[in-house]
Amino acid sequence: MKNRKRKRFVRITVSVVIICLLLFFLQRLMMPKYSVGTQDGAMIAEYYDDEPKHNLIIIGDSEMYENISPLVLWQNYGINTYIRGSAQQLIWQSYYILEDTLRHETPEVVIVNISSMQYSEPQKETYNRMTLEGLRWSTSKVKAIYASMTEEESFMEYVFPLLRYHSRWNDLSADDFRLMFHEEPVSLNGYMMQVGVKPAENIPDGIPLADYTFGDIDYEYLDKITALCKEHGVELVLMKGPSLYPYWYEEWDEQMKDYAAEHNVVYLNCVNKEEIGLDFSTDTFDGGLHLNVEGAEIYSDYLGEWLQDNIGISDLSSDSALSRAWKTKADAYEAKKSEKYKELSD
Amino acid sequence: MQFVSYSFFLFLAIVFVVYYLIPKRFQWMVLLVASYVFYCFAGPKYLIYIAATTFTTWLTALQIDKLKAAQADYLQENKSLSREEKKLYKTATKKKQRHLMLAALLLNLGILAVVKYTNFAISNINAMIGLAGGQPLGYVSLVLPLGISFYTFRALSYLIDVYRGTIPAEKNGFRFALFVSFFPQLIQGPISRYSQIESGLFTPHRLNWKQVSFGLQRMLWGYMKKMVIADRIVVGLTTMTGDTAAYTGAYVLIEVFFYAIQLYADFSGGLDMAIGAGQIFGVDLPENFVRPFFSTSIKEYWNRWHITMGSWFTDYIFYPISVCKPMLNLSKWSRTHLGPVLGKRLTVYLSSFAVWLATGVWHGASWNFVFWGLSNYLVIMISQELEPLYRRFHQRFDVDGKLYFKIFQVGRTFLLMGFLRMYDCFDSVTTTWKMLLTVFTAGNWNILWNGSLMQIGLTAADYIIIAAGILLMFLVSMSQRSGSVREKIHAKPYIVRFVLWTALFMAVLLFGAYGIGYDATSFIYNQF
């Protein structure tokens, strides 16, 4: 009798383990591999592979991760930067990413891109996925999911992504098997390098809006970001990247200035800022939305100087461990640049 | 709460744990609370409907039972009454019981009629007003309470059974409430009878792993039918039926086939889930399908399809009408004036007419369903009339019992039922007729092989999955003929069982049409 019971117990345990393993492998297989697909979804997860010793953390959407080169910030100013960026990152997602980051480290300065203040509602499931899937599980992630889900989404499908991606069996490629357990990094400290030139021409003025006021929910999360930074003794910089498009309205700019003044935080609007030295006939790869690598290097140089002059951010270049790490990263950066140019010329 | 939802799995898991953890005498109470919680997910405001039906039928049945008891007591105490006096007393009591039952019937059928058929009635009145050039009436905004047709029929069957003396009235209103609202059968049946599930609902159950695993297996099979087949094939079906100008002729034949598969996989899949969920709690719900597509005639088909509804109409409409006084008088008259053969059949035809009219109306508030019901009636009656001719033909050509002839009969029944079912797919009766006519007139048979079927929203992969699913359903049906498939699998070594059920689970998980990117379809029979 005892033997039978034991046998039954072993059988059930083994069965459950096999099913769990099967589900685990299937899930890994079915999940999209951002490093070989839509790379914008890969960076949030890559942060955890870098040593958490950054004195500058930048949080935001493609206006950050395609426009700022952390290598330039390091090489010219000794600023150890990481960009926690994802496509169309919403302000509440920025907040929870900040919360997640501060659990790992406390940087001197946090830059938050405020172009997302224009969105008061979740936009698209695809963007949510690209932002949230890379976050490690924590209460921040759970809250970020609940804050971000569109009507069609389900929390369960974030917990078990296999339920979301089950139908990918028809699109599987060799990469899905190769990258099941480890994806190749696509960014350099969160920077996604772009090459090529598509000059900005005929940038249209913004369409008049019925209401320019940012939503209550945006302010609610901006307040939370401000409070969290203050709580951790982190200098907060609210920044609007230099992208010419989508249009950044004067009314929006005014609201941000007022907010910054009221809450005693810094606001830096880089749109059409001549002292940066950007030339949108050569420094953008997509007609003014984002910068190419040359543009990003120019902008980063400006940003580094601005941070040193206005915020007094530390120069960490004397840290030998960091210097060694950045030496390797610089090599990878140059290799990537060459590779990208080669791809472009092909 | 849909059966195909994450919340349902969570709900089921919680109810399961609580059900088997609490003292057994409280188990049925857990099911009652769970059923009402389940119903609340459809909208708490609809609780009033199910509560009203439950209360009125329970109270009426109780009153009827009391009258019966009072009658028995009275007759016991007054043994000296003459036979005539006893008969008079019994008739008077029976009359009171009948009035009570009719009042409850009218009330509950009235609720059903108002919420389900008001707008249908208004649309018909408006059509007549339109002819007279008058001002049309406005439509009313009424949402159909979840499963109202099912729980009303369940409650009424109980009431009539108590009236007939088939079962005693349930004294405990909460127990009766559980019978009416038991959540696995709430959405789309089966339309169980009180006597069928009473013992399952109220007998304490010990955790029986075989029973639980059989229940889960049955549910899994239901999910396979619903999610892998029905919800995938429906994409192609709605593309075609949604554009009656473009998809005519051979497309309609494809629609006939697709809809037959979709409806069966959807409805029987939902019933598999319901029966499986019931089994998890030790409640055996009655079967609703017995391989209907293996039927060799429409009559046989209706004995295998939606069985609990068919038997409900037979027991509570066909027989009462057949033996009611006016019908008996008519039978007597017709035998005298029309001859013994036609005279005998006339009452059957009239009773059947009532049954099929009610069946059509029950399925939906539109003329399409009325015509669908009456078309079934017509085909069954004609088949019955031609029966002697068929028999002679079978004898003459010696086809009885021959496999090829059986296959022909099965195919014929499948097609005939498929054509009749198309009333569901189009917006009017005339459109249905026109579309069916194009099968014979359009002459576009080349769509079957020129790749046109790849343009209806289904990919080659979809067709492969659907075909594999149908093949699996067919093989399971074939195996069912010699006994329970689950029992057969259960008799196999553990490794075989494990591989089979895990494979089915993985197939549902991977090939099921669910989540974002798929239009989640609710069960077709939910709306009834």
**Does the CB of B454 have a partner CB in chain A at under 8 Å?**
no
CA-nearest residue to A158 within chain B is: B515
Q: Please answer whether residues B183 and B217 qualify as being in contact, where contact means their C-beta atoms are separated by less than 8 angstroms.
A: no
Distance, in Å, from the CA atom of A59 to the CA atom of A190, rounded to the nearest integer, reads: 10
Q: Please answer whether residues B202 and B172 qualify as being in contact, where contact means their C-beta atoms are separated by less than 8 angstroms.
A: no
Q: Cβ of B512 and A166 within 8 Å?
A: yes
Tell me the longest C-alpha to C-alpha distance in chain A. Answer: 85
Residue A261 CB coordination number (10 Å): 10
Q: Cβ of A18 and B506 within 8 Å?
A: no
Residue A266 CB coordination number (10 Å): 16
Distance, in Å, from the CA atom of B417 to the CA atom of B421, rounded to the nearest integer, reads: 6
Distance, in Å, from the CA atom of A118 to the CA atom of A207, rounded to the nearest integer, reads: 14
Burial of B519 (0-12, 13-18, 19+ CB in 10 A): exposed
Q: Cβ of B461 and A153 within 8 Å?
A: no
Distance, in Å, from the CA atom of A223 to the CA atom of A218, rounded to the nearest integer, reads: 9
Q: What is the pLDDT of residue B26?
A: 95
**Does the CB of B223 have a partner CB in chain A at under 8 Å?**
no
> Distance, in angstroms, between B229 CA and closest chain A CA?
14
**Which CATH number belongs to the domain containing residue A337 in this structure?**
3.40.50.1110
Tell me what the mean pLDDT of segment A99-127 comes to: 93
Q: Which residues of chain B does A126 touch, with a Cβ-Cβ cutoff of 8 Å? A: none
Across the interface, of A11, A26, A162, the residue whose CB is closest to B494 is A11
* A81 and A4 housed in the same domain: no
Q: Which residues of chain B does A157 touch, with a Cβ-Cβ cutoff of 8 Å? A: 515-516
Q: What is the pLDDT of residue B15?
A: 97
Return the structure tokens found at B433.
């007729």
pLDDT at A242 > cutoff 60:
yes
Choose, out of A18, A163, A176, the residue to mutate when testing the contact with B (most B CBs < 10 Å).
Answer: A163
* A184 and A289 housed in the same domain: yes
CA B349 to chain CA mean position, Å: 23
* A169 and A214 housed in the same domain: yes
Q: Please answer whether residues A188 and A232 qualify as being in contact, where contact means their C-beta atoms are separated by less than 8 angstroms.
A: no
**Does the CB of B509 have a partner CB in chain A at under 8 Å?**
yes
* A273 and A212 housed in the same domain: yes
> Distance, in angstroms, between B506 CA and closest chain A CA?
8
Please provide the size of chain B in residues. 528
**Number of domains chain A contains:** 2
Tell me what the mean pLDDT of segment A198-205 comes to: 84
* A222 and A321 housed in the same domain: yes
CA-nearest residue to B503 within chain A is: A19
pLDDT at A1 > cutoff 80:
no
CA-nearest residue to A30 within chain B is: B510
> What Cα–Cα distance (Å) separates residue B486 from each residue in A277, A308, B497, B508?
75, 73, 10, 18
Distance, in Å, from the CA atom of A243 to the CA atom of A113, rounded to the nearest integer, reads: 12
* A26 and A48 housed in the same domain: no
Residues A300-329: tens digit of each pLDDT: 999 999 999 999 999 999 999 999 999 999
* Cα torsion A26, A28, A29, A31: sign: positive
Boundaries of every domain in chain B? 6-207, 295-426
Q: Cβ of A169 and B516 within 8 Å?
A: no
Q: Cβ of A169 and B511 within 8 Å?
A: yes
> What Cα–Cα distance (Å) separates residue B205 from each residue in A303, B14, B20, B25, B186?
72, 17, 8, 9, 21
* A117 and A43 housed in the same domain: yes
Least Cα distance to A81 among A66, A68, A67 occurs for: A68
Across the interface, of B6, B459, B515, the residue whose CB is closest to A166 is B515
Q: Cβ of A164 and B461 within 8 Å?
A: no
Q: What is the pLDDT of residue B502?
A: 96
Least Cα distance to A85 among A126, A57, A51, A50 occurs for: A57
Strand order in the sheet with A235-240: A81-85, A56-60, A109-113, A235-240, A266-269
Q: What is the pLDDT of residue B192?
A: 95
Return the structure tokens found at A289.
């939305």
Q: State the DSSP code for B230.
A: I
* A47 and A178 housed in the same domain: yes
Q: Which residues of chain A does B511 touch, with a Cβ-Cβ cutoff of 8 Å? A: 166, 169
Q: A324 in the Ramachandran plot: left (φ > 0), alpha (ψ -120 to 50) or beta?
A: alpha
> Distance, in angstroms, between A166 CA and closest chain B CA?
5
**Does the CB of B270 have a partner CB in chain A at under 8 Å?**
no
Across the interface, of A11, A23, A125, the residue whose CB is closest to B516 is A125
> Distance, in angstroms, between B231 CA and closest chain A CA?
14
Q: Reply yes or no: is the peptide bond before residue A242 cis, omega within 30 of 0.
A: no
Q: Please answer whether residues A146 and A128 qualify as being in contact, where contact means their C-beta atoms are separated by less than 8 angstroms.
A: no
* A164 and A22 housed in the same domain: no
Q: What is the pLDDT of residue B525?
A: 53
Q: Please answer whether residues B414 and B293 qualify as being in contact, where contact means their C-beta atoms are separated by less than 8 angstroms.
A: yes
> Distance, in angstroms, between B224 CA and closest chain A CA?
15
Least Cα distance to A63 among A175, A251, A192 occurs for: A192
Q: Which residues of chain A does B518 touch, with a Cβ-Cβ cutoff of 8 Å? A: 167
Q: Which residues of chain B does A22 touch, with a Cβ-Cβ cutoff of 8 Å? A: 502, 506
Contacts of residue B140, defined as CB under 8 A and 6 or more positions apart, other chains included, come to B118, B119, B122
Among all chains, which residue has been given the structure tokens 């989540």?
Answer: B515
pLDDT at A53 > cutoff 60:
yes
Considering only residues B1 and A232, tell me which one the structure prediction assigns the higher pLDDT: A232
* A206 and A309 housed in the same domain: yes
Q: What is the pLDDT of residue B144?
A: 82
* A232 and A192 housed in the same domain: yes
> Distance, in angstroms, between B498 CA and closest chain A CA?
8
> Distance, in angstroms, between B428 CA and closest chain A CA?
33
**Does the CB of B224 have a partner CB in chain A at under 8 Å?**
no
Q: Reply yes or no: is the peptide bond before residue A246 cis, omega within 30 of 0.
A: yes
**Does the CB of B103 have a partner CB in chain A at under 8 Å?**
no
Q: What is the pLDDT of residue B322?
A: 87
> Distance, in angstroms, between B515 CA and closest chain A CA?
6
> Distance, in angstroms, between A164 CA and closest chain B CA?
6
Q: Is the pTM of this model over 0.90?
A: no
Three-state secondary structure along chain A?
Answer: CHHHHHHHHHHHHHHHHHHHHHHHHHHHHHCCCHHHCCHHHCHHHHHHHCCCCCCEEEEECHHHHCCCCHHHHHHHHCCCEEEEECCCCCHHHHHHHHHHHHHHCCCCEEEEECHHHHCCCCCCHHHHHHHHCCCCCCHHHHHHHHHHCCCCCCHHHHHCCHHHHHHHHHCCCHHHHHCCCCCCCCCECCECCCCCCCCCCCCCCCCCCCCCCCCHHHHHHHHHHHHHHHHHCCEEEEEECCCCCCCCCHHHHHHHHHHHHHHCCEEEECCCCHHHCCCCCCCECCCCCCECHHHHHHHHHHHHHHHHHHHCCCCCCCCHHHHHHHHHHHHHHHHHHHHHHHHHHC
Across the interface, of B510, B512, B516, the residue whose CB is closest to A153 is B516
Residues A130-172: tens digit of each pLDDT: 999 999 999 999 999 999 999 888 999 999 999 999 988 888 9
Q: How many CB pairs under 8 A join A and B?
A: 41
Q: What is the pLDDT of residue A135?
A: 94
Q: Which residues on adjacent β-strands are paired with residue A240?
A: A269
Q: Which residues of B442-476 are buried (b: 16+ CB within 10 A; e: fewer)?
A: bebeebeeeeebeebebeeebeebbeebbebbeee
**Does the CB of B498 have a partner CB in chain A at under 8 Å?**
yes
Three-state secondary structure along B93-113?
Answer: HHHHHHHHHHHHHHHHHHHHH
CA-nearest residue to B519 within chain A is: A152
Q: Can you give the residue range of the structural domain that contains A18?
A: 1-30
Torsion from C-alpha of A145, A150, A156, A162, nearest 10 degrees: -100
Q: What is the DSSP string of B504-524?
A: HHHHHHHH---STTS-----G
Return the structure tokens found at A122.
């979740």
pLDDT at A42 > cutoff 90:
no
Q: Which residues of chain B does A7 touch, with a Cβ-Cβ cutoff of 8 Å? A: none
Q: Give A344's pLDDT tier (boundaries 50, 70, 90).
A: confident
Q: Which residues of chain A does B515 touch, with a Cβ-Cβ cutoff of 8 Å? A: 154, 157, 163-164, 166-167
> Distance, in angstroms, between A152 CA and closest chain B CA?
7
> Is this prediction's ipTM beyond 0.90?
no
Q: Which of residues 477 through 496 in chain B touch A, CB cutoff 8 A? A: 494
Q: Cβ of B506 and A163 within 8 Å?
A: no
Residue B175 CB coordination number (10 Å): 17
**Does the CB of B172 have a partner CB in chain A at under 8 Å?**
no
> Distance, in angstroms, between B452 CA and closest chain A CA?
21
Q: What is the pLDDT of residue B517?
A: 67
* Cα torsion B243, B244, B246, B251: sign: positive
Among all chains, which residue has been given the structure tokens 């920025």?
Answer: A94
The chain A residues in contact with chain B (CB within 8 A) are 11, 15, 18-19, 22-23, 26, 125, 152-154, 156-157, 162-164, 166-167, 169-170
Q: Which residues of chain A does B512 touch, with a Cβ-Cβ cutoff of 8 Å? A: 166
CA-nearest residue to A150 within chain B is: B516
Written as one letter, the residue type at B209 is W
CA A226 to chain CA mean position, Å: 19
Written as one letter, the residue type at B255 is E
CA-nearest residue to B497 within chain A is: A15
Least Cα distance to A111 among A138, A84, A90, A133 occurs for: A84
- Strand, coil or helix: what is B288? coil
Choose, out of A4, A5, A15, the residue to mutate when testing the contact with B (most B CBs < 10 Å).
Answer: A15
- pLDDT per residue of chain B (528 residues) written in tens, 0 to 9: 788 889 999 999 999 999 999 999 999 999 999 999 999 988 888 899 999 999 999 999 999 999 999 888 888 888 888 888 888 888 899 999 999 999 999 999 999 999 888 988 898 898 888 888 888 888 888 778 888 999 999 999 999 999 999 999 999 999 999 999 999 999 888 999 999 999 999 999 999 999 999 999 999 999 999 999 999 999 999 999 999 999 999 999 999 999 999 999 999 999 999 999 999 999 999 999 999 999 998 889 999 999 999 999 999 999 989 888 888 888 888 888 888 777 778 888 899 999 999 999 888 888 999 999 999 999 999 988 888 898 888 888 888 888 999 999 999 999 999 999 999 899 899 999 999 999 999 889 999 999 999 999 999 999 999 999 999 999 999 999 999 999 999 999 999 999 999 999 999 999 998 887 665 455 555 554
